[in-house]
Every structure is written in C-alpha cells, then in structure tokens.
C-alpha cells in the first residue's frame, strides 16, 4: 500500500520507511513556532517544572508577538517582556511588530516536506507549501523545545479532488467556507485534508494558504495542497530550498474522496455562531453591520488588499461602519504602501492598523459591543469571538467584506 502526502512527511520525520493511519510515531521536528498567546506559560514551565531545563536546538525555534500588539494592559506587557528576555537569553529567533505568526513563518521559514508544530491552531497554514503544520498546546511545545521531538498518531487522509477554475468574483475564501459548510465543522476531525488535482494546481500560493489555514475549522489535523512548480518558485524566491515535494502514491489509501468543481463555487458567508452555517451571500438579506474587518492569517495578504482597494477606489466607507484593515505582515504593508493601496483605504475612510491579528483575535483592536454585527475575513465566528458574547460575526471574502463596508449591510460585490 502506498502513502499519502501527509504519511510521507510523517515517515520522513520518524525516520522510517513507511507509516500507516492509526500508528503512533516519535518524530523529529523541523521547526517550532510560538506566539504571545501562550509562550509565557511555556517559559514558566521551563523554569519552574523542569529539573534540568535545556533547549534541544535554538535554531529550530521561532517566537512571534502578534496577538496583542502593542500591549493593551500591564499583564500583556509583562508576558511580552518575558518572551523578549527568554528569546534574548537563549538566542531564539524573535519577531515583534512584524506581522501575524503564520505569515512570517511562510515568508521566512516553511519548506516543503517539513513537519512543523506551532502553539497556534492555524499552523495548518503551512500545508500550502507542501509541509505538515499542526497546532499544539504549550505543554507539548515545551516537550518539543527541550527534546526536539514529539509524537504523532498518523491521521487518516481525506482527499479533495479539485477541478476547474474559480469564476471571476469568487475567491479561495468562498471555496474553503463552502467545503466546511459541506463537510461540517467536525467533518474532518483529526484527519489530513489533502487538496489535489488540476483545480488545486490552478490556485496561487496565496489561495492555497487560504485553503490550508481554515482546515482546522473542519476539525482537521492539517491541510496540505499537493506541491508543484509554484511552490518551488515561491520557496526559492525566498532564498530557501524546495526539497521533499511529496505527492500521494497512486495506491495510497484515502478515507474519503470529494470531487469539487471550482467553476460551481459561489460567494458565500458563514453566519453566526457556526463556521459551517454557510449560505450564499444573497441569502443574507438586510443584515446591517457595525464593523468590517479585512486581515488575519487567512486573508490579509497583498492579493486581498489589492482587491479591497479596487472596490474602494473613489468610494466611501458607510458612515455607520468602522472598517479596519490589518496587513498580515510588514512586508505586505510596505508593498501596499508602494502600490498606493493605503492611500485608497485612508481616502475611503477605512482605518489601517499595524500588522497583527487585530479584530480576528477579538482582544485588543476593534472589539465589538453588545448587539453589534461584524463581517470579517478572520478565522472564526464563535459566540463572543470578536468581543461581547451577545455580538454577531459573519465570515466572508475580502470582496464581500469590502462591498459590505461600503453598503452598510452584507452584500455581494
């Protein structure tokens, strides 16, 4: 029996010829990433709970402050200082104010075939480059940090065979929300979502990032797009080597195979408070909004900013709407500045934030109040995700979010 992409990556990390779903293997980690959500807890355990604290390989560690930046209160400021000092002491790669953790990892680190664990659930983003990225808690992160290893129960793989092309006005965000709406928020629990076929190869790297990033919202262990020459071109353009471009064997076992024609995907939104309550945009009628958000690790890259600027140019954000835009990284921000996109946003009345998790995280920027409605390109719409427990979060594409910010209600572009 052959192996899937994910199984091949696990076998490489476990240093064994083959693995099968259900087996448990000890794996050597290629890299570990942690952000300011939980790193301070890991540091406390390192100092207080280990008899002989050590770091296996500092060069495999990356610490990134992105969730609450700038610090909004003294407690956060102390957590940031703890990260700063620990990174300095142990010579760990450290980023502060540079962007969202997953965007930075994709820009600076991720290579095909790697097994990467991150203390953030959306570490599955790295599958866009043919890597196996998965989220872990701070205790597992500590174990990986001091041993350089972890353990993995090999997941079953569900294959999404994509054909065709997304129509004009339809985006990867619509595709992955449609998939989650189809399979359900628990439809891929502890599975690998493998995206392959002609349609997958037609997608840009940015579109693949969008797909893999939300795999965890279907319960998946990770999402992986079958790597190709676009991955090689991207990785090499960033000064890294594109080795270990694994593809599934013809006789690999898949728990299930879905066939999806991209030509049939339409603009959609996920309604509060469930990410799998997905309907066509037109079905959401006369829902007035108080805030719109463009950004996050899912949808804050240059492609989305260009699209938003195209829609906004010569128009104004509705007088009753706060439109917050947060580029995913400083690199994206600077490119948007160079292209004049920030001017368009400011002229239209949008608020451009620093590169960070911002409204998606619902903690330090653009928090919404009781009864307020947000339409967002963030990752989640759980009850209370963006502020008050009695607020409402709709998820849509950059186009839907921007058009809605202008209209003052949820509309299709």
Going by the annotation, the residues of the binding site for [4Fe-4S] cluster are 297, 357, 360
CA distance 292 to 339: 23
Binding-site sequence positions: 297, 357, 360
Question: What SS3 string covers 306-330?
Answer: HHHHHHHCCCCCCCCCEEEEECCEH
β-pairing, 322-326 vs 351-352, is: parallel
* Cβ-based burial of 241 (10 A; exposed 0-12, middle 13-18, buried ≥19): exposed
β-pairing, 256-261 vs 156-163, is: parallel
Counting Cα atoms < 13 Å in the Cβ hemisphere of 19 gives 27
> Quick one: which of 103, 123, 111, 135 has its CA closest to 246?
111
CA dihedral 342, 344, 347, 348 (to 10 degrees): -110
| In contact, 223 and 211? CB cutoff 8 Å | yes
CA distance 336 to 329: 11
Backbone angle region of 296, left / alpha / beta, with phi > 0 → left and psi within -120 to 50 → alpha: left
Q: How distant, in Å, are the alpha carbons of 222, 344, 349 from that of 313?
A: 37, 6, 11
The 3-state DSSP class for residue 4 equals coil
CA distance 129 to 113: 8
The answer, yes or no, to whether the previous bond of 140 is cis (omega within 30 of 0) is no
Q: How distant, in Å, are the alpha carbons of 77, 176, 188, 376, 379 from that of 182?
A: 42, 10, 11, 20, 17
């Amino acid at each position: 029996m052959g192996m899937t992409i994910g199984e091949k990556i696990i076998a490489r990390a476990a240093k064994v010829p083959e693995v099968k779903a259900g087996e448990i293997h000890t794996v050597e980690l290629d890299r570990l990433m942690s952000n300011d959500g939980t790193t301070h807890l890991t540091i406390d355990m390192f100092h207080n709970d280990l008899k002989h604290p050590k770091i296996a390989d500092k060069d495999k560690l990356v610490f990134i402050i992105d969730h609450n930046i700038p610090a909004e209160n003294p407690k956060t400021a102390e957590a940031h200082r703890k990260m700063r000092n620990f990174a300095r002491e142990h010579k760990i790669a450290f980023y502060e104010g540079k962007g969202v953790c997953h965007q930075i990892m994709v820009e600076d680190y991720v290579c095909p075939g790697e097994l990467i664990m991150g203390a953030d659930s959306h570490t599955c983003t790295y599958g866009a480059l043919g890597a196996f990225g998965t989220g872990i808690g701070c205790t597992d992160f500590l174990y990986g940090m001091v041993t350089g290893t972890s353990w993995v129960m090999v997941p079953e793989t569900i294959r999404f065979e994509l054909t065709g092309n997304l129509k004009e006005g339809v985006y990867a965000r619509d595709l992955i929300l449609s998939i989650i709406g189809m399979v359900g928020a628990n439809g891929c629990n502890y599975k690998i979502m493998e995206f392959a076929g002609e349609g997958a190869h037609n997608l840009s790297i940015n579109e693949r990032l969008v797909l893999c990033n939300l795999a965890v919202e279907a319960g998946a262990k990770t999402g992986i797009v079958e790597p190709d020459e676009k991955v090689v071109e991207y990785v090499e353009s960033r000064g890294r080597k594109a080795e270990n471009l694994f593809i599934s064997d013809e006789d690999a076992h898949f728990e299930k195979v879905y066939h999806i024609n991209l030509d049939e995907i339409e603009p959609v939104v996920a309604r509060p408070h469930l990410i799998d309550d997905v309907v066509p945009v037109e079905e959401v009628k006369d829902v007035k909004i108080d805030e719109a958000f463009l950004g996050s690790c899912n949808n804050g890259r240059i492609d989305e900013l260009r699209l938003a600027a195209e829609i906004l140019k010569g128009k104004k954000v509705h007088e009753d709407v706060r439109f917050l835009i947060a580029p995913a990284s400083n690199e994206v921000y600077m490119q948007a500045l160079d292209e004049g996109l920030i001017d368009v946003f400011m002229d239209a009345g949008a608020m451009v934030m620093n590169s960070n998790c911002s409204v998606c995280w619902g903690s330090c920027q653009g928090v919404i109040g009781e009864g307020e409605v947000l339409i967002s390109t963030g990752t989640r719409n759980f009850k209370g995700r963006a502020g008050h427990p009695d607020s409402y979060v709709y998820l849509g594409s950059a186009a839907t979010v921007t058009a809605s910010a202008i209209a003052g209600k949820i509309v299709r572009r």
